[in-house]
Chains A and B, each alone.
Chain A
Amino acid sequence: MDYLRCPIPWCGEFVLDRRNYSLLGEEGRKAVEKGLAAADWYHTKVSRNEMKELMGRTDRYALRDTAIWIAALLLSAGAGIYLWPSWFSVPFWLAYGVLYGSSSDSRWHECGHGTAFKTPWMNDVVHQIACFMIMRNPTVWRWSHSRHHTDTIIVGRDPEIAVMRPPDAARILLNLFGIMDAIEAFRRMFIHVTGRLHPEEETYVPASEHHKVVFTARIWFAIYAATVATAVWMGSILPLMVIGLPRFYGAWHHIMTGVLQHAALADDVIDHRLNSRTFHLNPISRFIYWNMNYHVEHHMFPMVPYHALPRLHELIKHDLPSADGSVWSAYRTVLPVLLRQLRGDNVFLVRKLPDTARPYRAELHDAVGA
Chain B
Amino acid sequence: MPHWVDACAAEDIETEDLIRYDHPDGRTFAIYRSPEDEFHCTDGLCTHEFVHLADGLVQGCLIECPMHNGVFDYRTGKAKRAPAYEDLKTYQTKVENGRVLIEI
Please list the residues of chain A having a beta carbon within 8 angstroms of any beta carbon in chain B: 38, 51-52, 55-57, 113-115, 118, 120, 139, 142-143, 145-146, 149-150, 206, 208-209, 301-303
Number of A-B contacts (CB under 8 A): 44
Bound CA span A201–B55, Å: 29
Is the interface on chain B under 10, 10 to 19, 20 to 34, or 35 or more residues? 10 to 19
Is B59 in the interface zone, CB < 8 Å from A? Answer: yes
Sample 23 A-B pairs with CB under 8 A, ordered by A number.
A51-B55, A52-B17, A52-B57, A56-B57, A57-B57, A113-B69, A114-B69, A114-B81, A118-B59, A120-B81, A139-B82, A143-B83, A145-B68, A146-B83, A149-B67, A150-B49, A150-B67, A206-B85, A209-B82, A209-B85, A302-B67, A303-B57, A303-B64
Bound CA span A303–B81, Å: 14
Bound CA span A55–B64, Å: 10
* Majority DSSP secondary structure for residues of A touching B: helix
Bound CA span A149–B68, Å: 7
Bound CA span A145–B68, Å: 9
Which residues of chain A are near B57, meaning CB under 8 Å?
52, 55-57, 303
Assess the A38–B49 pair: CB atoms within 8 A: yes
Which residues of chain B are near A206, meaning CB under 8 Å?
85
A303's partner among B48, B69, B83, B85 (CB-CB below 8 A) is: B69
Which residues of chain A are near B55, meaning CB under 8 Å?
51
Which residues of chain B are near A120, meaning CB under 8 Å?
81
Give the distance to chain A from B48, nearest Cβ to Cβ, in Å: 8
Is B101 in the interface zone, CB < 8 Å from A? Answer: no
Give the distance to chain A from B62, nearest Cβ to Cβ, in Å: 9
Bound CA span A96–B61, Å: 40
Give the distance to chain A from B84, nearest Cβ to Cβ, in Å: 10
Bound CA span A56–B58, Å: 9
Which residues of chain A are near B64, meaning CB under 8 Å?
114, 303
